Amino acid sequence: MKFISNAFSINMVESPRMGESFEVEFKRLSAFDASKAIQEDYFKSVIGHRDLAEVVGVELNARLPFNRESVKLRTGDTMLVCQYSGPRLPAGCTELPEGAQIDYFLVSIR
């Protein structure tokens, strides 16, 4: 399954059985490549911050609903992580404030 989120945590990965392992691969993407990825394939939004969902949607030219849902990633799943850095987002914003940026990472579980 494919997800788009504003965060990534080890808690999002389904725990392997004792003695088993998994790999997490992070691939940095440009905003253009992130937009292309979600235009070409379905990514379920689990963006848990309403204003950030709006800002990312504008930046990637996509409708990305706010959806505060817990996720458990399994082997073969991918997640496009939209990592926000900057000042607190003003309520109702639709663009990044000055000094802010979003970095995009495609996270794959193997």
Whichever domain contains 30, its CATH number is 3.40.50.11170
Q: For position 91, what pLDDT does the model report? A: 87
Residue 104 within any structural domain of the chain: yes
Q: For position 107, what pLDDT does the model report? A: 98
The pTM score is: 0.90
Residue 14 within any structural domain of the chain: no
Kindly list the distances between the CA atom of residue 89 and the CA atoms of 53, 95, 109, in Å, as whole numbers in the listed order: 11, 9, 30
Q: How far apart are CA 52 and CA 96, in angstroms?
A: 9
Question: Which residues of the chain carry a pLDDT beneath 70?
Answer: none
Kindly list the distances between the CA atom of residue 45 and the CA atoms of 17, 23, 68, 91, in Å, as whole numbers in the listed order: 28, 23, 9, 20
Residue 101 within any structural domain of the chain: yes
Residue 16 within any structural domain of the chain: no
pLDDT, tens digit, 9 for 90 and up, residues 78-102: 999 999 999 998 888 888 999 999 9
Residue 77 within any structural domain of the chain: yes
Residue 83 within any structural domain of the chain: yes
Q: For position 26, what pLDDT does the model report? A: 97
Residue 15 within any structural domain of the chain: no
Torsion over CA: 40, 36, 45, 107 (sign): positive
Residue 94 within any structural domain of the chain: yes
What is the rounded radius of gyration, in angstroms, for the C-alpha atoms of the chain? 14
The parent domain of residue 92 ranges over: 2-9+21-109
